[in-house]
Amino acid sequence: MQVRRWRLAHGRELELGAEALIMGVLNVTPDSFSDGGRYTSVEGAVAAARAMIEEGAAIVDVGGESTRPGAAPIAAAEEQARVLPVIEALAKETDVLLSIDTYRAETARLAVSAGAHIVNDVWGLRKDAGIAEIAAATGAGLVLMHTGRERQKLPDVIEDQFAFLRGAIEIARAAGVPDEQIMLDPGFGFAKDPGENIEIMARFTELADLGFPFVVGTSRKRFIGHFTGRDVADRDVGTAATSALLRMKGAAIFRVHDVAANRDALRIADALLAAERARD
Protein backbone atom coordinates (compact mmCIF):
# COMPACT_ATOMS: atom_id res chain seq x y z
CA MET A 1 0.00 0.00 0.00
CA GLN A 2 1.43 3.33 -1.07
CA VAL A 3 2.68 5.55 1.76
CA ARG A 4 2.09 9.27 1.39
CA ARG A 5 1.83 12.32 3.60
CA TRP A 6 -1.30 14.38 4.17
CA ARG A 7 -0.56 18.06 4.75
CA LEU A 8 -2.68 19.72 7.45
CA ALA A 9 -3.15 23.11 9.11
CA HIS A 10 -0.86 24.47 11.83
CA GLY A 11 2.20 22.82 10.33
CA ARG A 12 0.99 19.28 10.99
CA GLU A 13 0.99 16.31 8.64
CA LEU A 14 -0.05 12.68 8.79
CA GLU A 15 1.50 9.61 7.22
CA LEU A 16 -1.05 7.56 5.32
CA GLY A 17 -0.83 3.98 4.16
CA ALA A 18 1.63 2.36 6.55
CA GLU A 19 -1.14 1.51 8.99
CA ALA A 20 -4.86 2.16 9.24
CA LEU A 21 -5.80 5.35 11.06
CA ILE A 22 -8.98 6.09 12.97
CA MET A 23 -11.03 9.28 13.00
CA GLY A 24 -13.32 9.26 16.01
CA VAL A 25 -16.81 10.73 15.54
CA LEU A 26 -17.71 13.41 18.08
CA ASN A 27 -21.21 14.75 17.42
CA VAL A 28 -22.06 17.74 19.60
CA THR A 29 -25.65 17.67 18.39
CA PRO A 30 -28.99 16.78 19.97
CA ASP A 31 -30.25 14.79 16.96
CA SER A 32 -27.50 12.79 15.25
CA PHE A 33 -28.73 9.35 14.18
CA SER A 34 -26.40 7.36 16.45
CA ASP A 35 -25.28 9.45 19.40
CA GLY A 36 -27.33 12.64 19.31
CA GLY A 37 -27.61 14.36 22.68
CA ARG A 38 -24.80 12.45 24.38
CA TYR A 39 -22.15 15.18 24.21
CA THR A 40 -23.98 18.49 24.37
CA SER A 41 -21.71 20.00 27.05
CA VAL A 42 -18.11 20.99 26.40
CA GLU A 43 -16.96 18.92 29.36
CA GLY A 44 -18.81 15.83 28.17
CA ALA A 45 -17.50 16.22 24.63
CA VAL A 46 -13.91 16.67 25.80
CA ALA A 47 -14.18 13.61 28.03
CA ALA A 48 -15.53 11.56 25.13
CA ALA A 49 -12.68 12.76 22.91
CA ARG A 50 -10.12 11.79 25.55
CA ALA A 51 -11.60 8.28 25.64
CA MET A 52 -11.34 8.03 21.84
CA ILE A 53 -7.71 9.12 21.95
CA GLU A 54 -6.89 6.54 24.63
CA GLU A 55 -8.51 3.85 22.48
CA GLY A 56 -6.37 4.77 19.48
CA ALA A 57 -8.00 7.59 17.51
CA ALA A 58 -5.49 9.66 15.55
CA ILE A 59 -8.13 12.26 14.66
CA VAL A 60 -11.26 13.54 16.39
CA ASP A 61 -13.94 14.78 13.98
CA VAL A 62 -16.22 17.37 15.61
CA GLY A 63 -19.65 18.00 14.10
CA GLY A 64 -22.35 20.43 15.14
CA GLU A 65 -25.14 19.63 12.66
CA SER A 66 -26.70 16.24 12.05
CA THR A 67 -26.30 14.89 8.51
CA ARG A 68 -28.79 12.03 8.95
CA PRO A 69 -31.51 11.79 6.29
CA GLY A 70 -34.30 14.25 7.01
CA ALA A 71 -32.41 16.22 9.65
CA ALA A 72 -33.45 19.87 9.93
CA PRO A 73 -30.69 22.36 9.04
CA ILE A 74 -29.54 24.78 11.72
CA ALA A 75 -28.16 28.31 11.58
CA ALA A 76 -24.42 28.79 11.17
CA ALA A 77 -24.25 30.63 14.49
CA GLU A 78 -25.78 27.67 16.30
CA GLU A 79 -23.39 25.25 14.65
CA GLN A 80 -20.43 27.41 15.62
CA ALA A 81 -21.65 27.79 19.20
CA ARG A 82 -21.68 24.00 19.50
CA VAL A 83 -18.33 23.15 17.92
CA LEU A 84 -15.92 26.02 18.55
CA PRO A 85 -15.69 25.71 22.37
CA VAL A 86 -15.05 21.98 22.02
CA ILE A 87 -12.32 22.46 19.41
CA GLU A 88 -10.70 25.22 21.48
CA ALA A 89 -10.69 23.04 24.60
CA LEU A 90 -9.28 20.01 22.79
CA ALA A 91 -6.60 22.08 21.06
CA LYS A 92 -5.43 23.33 24.46
CA GLU A 93 -5.60 20.01 26.30
CA THR A 94 -4.44 17.49 23.69
CA ASP A 95 -2.11 17.08 20.73
CA VAL A 96 -4.65 15.04 18.75
CA LEU A 97 -5.47 16.04 15.21
CA LEU A 98 -8.84 17.81 15.03
CA SER A 99 -11.32 17.83 12.17
CA ILE A 100 -14.37 20.02 11.70
CA ASP A 101 -17.34 18.35 10.02
CA THR A 102 -19.03 21.23 8.21
CA TYR A 103 -20.18 22.43 4.80
CA ARG A 104 -19.96 26.14 5.71
CA ALA A 105 -16.85 28.15 4.87
CA GLU A 106 -17.23 30.52 7.83
CA THR A 107 -17.54 27.64 10.29
CA ALA A 108 -14.48 26.05 8.69
CA ARG A 109 -12.50 29.28 9.00
CA LEU A 110 -13.39 29.77 12.65
CA ALA A 111 -12.73 26.12 13.47
CA VAL A 112 -9.26 26.14 11.93
CA SER A 113 -8.53 29.37 13.79
CA ALA A 114 -9.64 27.62 17.00
CA GLY A 115 -7.23 24.74 16.38
CA ALA A 116 -8.74 22.36 13.81
CA HIS A 117 -6.32 20.80 11.32
CA ILE A 118 -8.82 19.31 8.86
CA VAL A 119 -12.06 20.34 7.20
CA ASN A 120 -14.44 17.46 6.42
CA ASP A 121 -17.07 18.56 3.89
CA VAL A 122 -19.92 16.08 3.39
CA TRP A 123 -21.18 18.05 0.37
CA GLY A 124 -17.90 17.92 -1.55
CA LEU A 125 -17.75 21.73 -1.93
CA ARG A 126 -21.20 21.82 -3.58
CA LYS A 127 -22.92 23.75 -0.77
CA ASP A 128 -20.18 26.30 -0.15
CA ALA A 129 -17.16 26.29 -2.46
CA GLY A 130 -15.59 28.88 -0.17
CA ILE A 131 -14.40 25.99 1.99
CA ALA A 132 -11.74 25.34 -0.65
CA GLU A 133 -10.48 28.91 -0.27
CA ILE A 134 -10.24 28.41 3.50
CA ALA A 135 -8.23 25.21 3.00
CA ALA A 136 -5.92 26.95 0.52
CA ALA A 137 -5.36 29.91 2.84
CA THR A 138 -4.83 27.92 6.05
CA GLY A 139 -3.19 24.73 4.78
CA ALA A 140 -5.97 22.64 6.31
CA GLY A 141 -6.44 19.07 5.20
CA LEU A 142 -9.58 18.81 3.10
CA VAL A 143 -11.88 15.77 2.92
CA LEU A 144 -14.13 15.85 -0.13
CA MET A 145 -17.08 13.52 0.29
CA HIS A 146 -19.33 12.11 -2.40
CA THR A 147 -23.06 12.55 -1.95
CA GLY A 148 -26.06 11.64 -4.05
CA ARG A 149 -28.33 14.14 -2.33
CA GLU A 150 -30.16 16.87 -4.25
CA ARG A 151 -29.05 15.69 -7.70
CA GLN A 152 -29.58 13.01 -10.33
CA LYS A 153 -27.05 10.20 -9.94
CA LEU A 154 -25.51 8.24 -12.81
CA PRO A 155 -26.73 4.64 -13.07
CA ASP A 156 -23.32 3.10 -12.35
CA VAL A 157 -22.17 3.76 -8.78
CA ILE A 158 -18.47 4.01 -9.62
CA GLU A 159 -19.05 6.26 -12.63
CA ASP A 160 -21.05 8.52 -10.33
CA GLN A 161 -18.20 8.53 -7.79
CA PHE A 162 -15.74 9.56 -10.48
CA ALA A 163 -17.97 12.28 -11.90
CA PHE A 164 -18.80 13.86 -8.56
CA LEU A 165 -15.37 13.56 -6.93
CA ARG A 166 -13.48 14.78 -9.99
CA GLY A 167 -15.70 17.84 -9.94
CA ALA A 168 -14.90 18.42 -6.27
CA ILE A 169 -11.17 18.06 -6.95
CA GLU A 170 -11.40 20.61 -9.75
CA ILE A 171 -13.11 23.11 -7.44
CA ALA A 172 -10.41 22.59 -4.80
CA ARG A 173 -7.54 22.91 -7.24
CA ALA A 174 -9.03 26.04 -8.79
CA ALA A 175 -9.05 27.63 -5.33
CA GLY A 176 -5.36 26.81 -4.88
CA VAL A 177 -5.59 23.70 -2.69
CA PRO A 178 -2.59 21.44 -3.43
CA ASP A 179 -3.24 17.75 -3.94
CA GLU A 180 -1.20 16.96 -0.82
CA GLN A 181 -4.01 18.44 1.31
CA ILE A 182 -6.86 16.50 -0.31
CA MET A 183 -8.48 13.23 0.72
CA LEU A 184 -11.65 11.71 -0.70
CA ASP A 185 -14.62 9.93 0.89
CA PRO A 186 -17.09 7.74 -1.07
CA GLY A 187 -19.93 8.87 1.20
CA PHE A 188 -21.39 5.58 2.36
CA GLY A 189 -25.06 6.04 3.21
CA PHE A 190 -25.49 9.45 1.61
CA ALA A 191 -28.38 8.89 -0.81
CA LYS A 192 -27.30 5.32 -1.47
CA ASP A 193 -29.39 2.21 -0.94
CA PRO A 194 -27.96 -0.97 0.65
CA GLY A 195 -27.11 -2.51 -2.70
CA GLU A 196 -25.26 0.61 -3.83
CA ASN A 197 -23.23 0.75 -0.61
CA ILE A 198 -22.20 -2.89 -0.96
CA GLU A 199 -21.33 -2.40 -4.63
CA ILE A 200 -19.07 0.51 -3.73
CA MET A 201 -17.34 -1.74 -1.19
CA ALA A 202 -17.01 -4.56 -3.73
CA ARG A 203 -15.53 -2.23 -6.36
CA PHE A 204 -13.62 0.04 -3.99
CA THR A 205 -10.22 -0.66 -5.59
CA GLU A 206 -11.47 1.02 -8.78
CA LEU A 207 -11.52 4.34 -6.94
CA ALA A 208 -7.73 4.25 -6.66
CA ASP A 209 -7.66 5.58 -10.23
CA LEU A 210 -8.69 8.96 -8.85
CA GLY A 211 -5.18 9.21 -7.42
CA PHE A 212 -6.05 10.25 -3.86
CA PRO A 213 -6.19 8.45 -0.50
CA PHE A 214 -9.58 7.70 1.01
CA VAL A 215 -11.41 8.27 4.27
CA VAL A 216 -14.37 5.91 4.72
CA GLY A 217 -17.32 6.28 7.08
CA THR A 218 -19.55 3.22 7.31
CA SER A 219 -20.04 3.47 11.06
CA ARG A 220 -23.49 2.28 12.21
CA LYS A 221 -24.99 3.18 8.84
CA ARG A 222 -28.41 1.96 7.79
CA PHE A 223 -27.04 -0.47 5.21
CA ILE A 224 -25.22 -2.35 7.98
CA GLY A 225 -28.53 -2.69 9.77
CA HIS A 226 -30.12 -3.89 6.53
CA PHE A 227 -27.70 -6.79 6.19
CA THR A 228 -27.32 -7.67 9.88
CA GLY A 229 -30.81 -6.93 11.19
CA ARG A 230 -29.25 -4.84 13.97
CA ASP A 231 -30.50 -1.55 15.36
CA VAL A 232 -28.20 1.50 15.34
CA ALA A 233 -26.77 0.85 18.81
CA ASP A 234 -25.79 -2.72 17.88
CA ARG A 235 -23.97 -2.15 14.59
CA ASP A 236 -20.38 -1.81 15.82
CA VAL A 237 -19.44 -5.42 14.97
CA GLY A 238 -20.82 -4.97 11.47
CA THR A 239 -18.98 -1.67 11.20
CA ALA A 240 -15.70 -3.29 12.22
CA ALA A 241 -16.20 -5.92 9.52
CA THR A 242 -16.65 -3.24 6.85
CA SER A 243 -13.59 -1.38 8.15
CA ALA A 244 -11.37 -4.46 7.87
CA LEU A 245 -12.68 -5.26 4.38
CA LEU A 246 -12.19 -1.70 3.14
CA ARG A 247 -8.69 -1.62 4.62
CA MET A 248 -7.82 -4.68 2.58
CA LYS A 249 -9.05 -2.77 -0.49
CA GLY A 250 -6.93 0.31 0.22
CA ALA A 251 -8.80 2.75 2.49
CA ALA A 252 -6.51 4.81 4.72
CA ILE A 253 -8.65 6.46 7.42
CA PHE A 254 -11.78 5.11 9.11
CA ARG A 255 -14.38 7.46 10.58
CA VAL A 256 -16.09 5.50 13.39
CA HIS A 257 -18.03 5.82 16.62
CA ASP A 258 -16.57 2.79 18.43
CA VAL A 259 -12.82 3.30 18.24
CA ALA A 260 -11.75 0.20 20.17
CA ALA A 261 -13.70 -2.35 18.12
CA ASN A 262 -12.53 -0.90 14.83
CA ARG A 263 -8.95 -0.54 16.06
CA ASP A 264 -8.84 -4.29 16.77
CA ALA A 265 -10.35 -5.22 13.40
CA LEU A 266 -7.96 -2.91 11.56
CA ARG A 267 -4.93 -4.31 13.36
CA ILE A 268 -5.82 -7.74 12.02
CA ALA A 269 -6.23 -6.31 8.52
CA ASP A 270 -2.88 -4.51 8.78
CA ALA A 271 -1.18 -7.72 9.97
CA LEU A 272 -2.58 -9.58 6.97
CA LEU A 273 -1.45 -6.86 4.59
CA ALA A 274 2.03 -6.94 6.11
CA ALA A 275 2.19 -10.72 5.63
CA GLU A 276 1.13 -10.36 2.01
CA ARG A 277 3.82 -7.72 1.38
CA ALA A 278 6.46 -9.92 2.98
CA ARG A 279 5.52 -12.77 0.67
CA ASP A 280 5.77 -10.66 -2.51
Q: Catalytic site residues?
A: 221, 255
In whole angstroms, how far apart are CA 76 and each of 103, 134, 224? 10, 16, 31
